[in-house]
């Protein structure tokens, strides 16, 4: 029987107690027509998007991908907004590149022709939320005429986000 050194035992303990690493995707659904957008808004929900992304992953990566997805239980849609078409989802870090690769091959969701554009990938929810807010504010800025009012809203919102950290 061999003796284990204390350093070996402590590294073994550390590797067993590590939190699984995750990556957060901020994505946007893009539609080819206004009619497709209306259909999507009518039928899409967070749980349906979750199932569609899982199914698309399994279709693209096959049985091996399905097994990896089932083994890594961290995949989940965190946020979905029907009006802005923004979706945030979480994946295990080992599956990050696999999910990045399937987003460009997504052609339909809920039977509606669309594509999925990745806006940002982050390691924390806080960072992905900040990017989402900044993206929404920039979208609002492009839609409104009054630059002074929008600049003030953007500045106030960014100050609130920075104060909460």
Please determine, for residue 74, whether its predicted confidence score (pLDDT) is greater than 50.
yes
Please determine, for residue 56, whether its predicted confidence score (pLDDT) is greater than 50.
yes
Q: What pLDDT was estimated at residue 30?
A: 92
Q: Is residue 15 part of a domain?
A: no
Give the mean model confidence (pLDDT) for residues 24-50: 90
The structural domain count of the chain equals 2
14 or 46, which is more confident: 46
- What distance in Å separates the CA atoms of residue 135 and residue 133, rounded to the nearest whole number? 5
pTM for the complete prediction?
A: 0.75
Q: Both 159 and 106 in a single domain?
A: no
Q: Is residue 2 part of a domain?
A: no
Q: Percent of the chain at pLDDT above 70?
A: 76
Q: What pLDDT was estimated at residue 117?
A: 93
Which among 28, 55, 32, 33 has a CA at the least distance from the CA of 110? 55
Q: Both 90 and 142 in a single domain?
A: no
pLDDT single digits (tens) 110-154 = 888 999 999 999 999 889 988 988 888 777 777 766 666 666 766
Q: What single string gives the DSSP state of each residue in 120-148?
A: EEESSHHHHHHHHHHHHHHHHHHH-S-HH
Q: Both 30 and 43 in a single domain?
A: yes
pLDDT single digits (tens) 10-32 = 444 445 557 788 999 999 999 98
SS (H, E, C) 74-115: CCEEEEEECCCCEEEEEEEHHHHHHHHHHHCCCCEECCEEEE
Q: Both 56 and 67 in a single domain?
A: yes
Q: Both 54 and 119 in a single domain?
A: yes
Q: Both 86 and 160 in a single domain?
A: no
Identify the weakest region by mean pLDDT among 7-11, 22-26, 42-46: 7-11
Q: Both 30 and 69 in a single domain?
A: yes
Q: Is residue 10 part of a domain?
A: no
pLDDT band with cut points at 50, 70 and 90 for residue 165 = low
Average pLDDT of the chain, as a whole number: 81
Q: Is residue 99 part of a domain?
A: yes
From the number of C-beta atoms within 10 Å of its C-beta (0-12, 13-18, 19+), residue 162 rates as exposed
Q: Both 38 and 119 in a single domain?
A: yes
Domain harbouring 97, CATH code: 3.30.70.3250
Q: Both 43 and 57 in a single domain?
A: yes
- Structural domain range at position 133: 124-165
- What distance in Å separates the CA atoms of residue 103 and residue 53, rounded to the nearest whole number? 9
Q: Is residue 140 part of a domain?
A: yes
Q: Both 145 and 110 in a single domain?
A: no
């Amino acid at each position: 029987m061999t003796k284990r050194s204390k350093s070996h035992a402590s590294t073994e303990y550390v590797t067993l107690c590590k939190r699984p690493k995750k990556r957060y995707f901020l994505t946007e659904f893009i539609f080819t027509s206004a009619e497709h957008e209306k259909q999507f808004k009518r039928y899409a929900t967070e749980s349906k998007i979750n199932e569609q992304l899982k199914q698309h992953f399994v279709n693209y990566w096959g049985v091996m991908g399905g097994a990896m997805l089932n083994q890594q239980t961290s995949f989940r849609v965190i946020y979905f907004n029907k009006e802005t078409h923004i979706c945030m989802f979480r994946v295990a870090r080992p599956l990050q590149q696999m999910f990045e690769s399937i987003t460009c091959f997504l052609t339909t969701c809920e039977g509606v022709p669309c594509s999925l554009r990745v806006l940002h990938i982050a390691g924390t929810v806080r960072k992905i939320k900040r990017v989402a807010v900044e993206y929404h504010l920039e979208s609002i800025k492009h839609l409104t005429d009054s630059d002074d009012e929008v600049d003030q809203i953007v500045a106030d919102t960014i100050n609130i986000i920075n104060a909460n950290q």
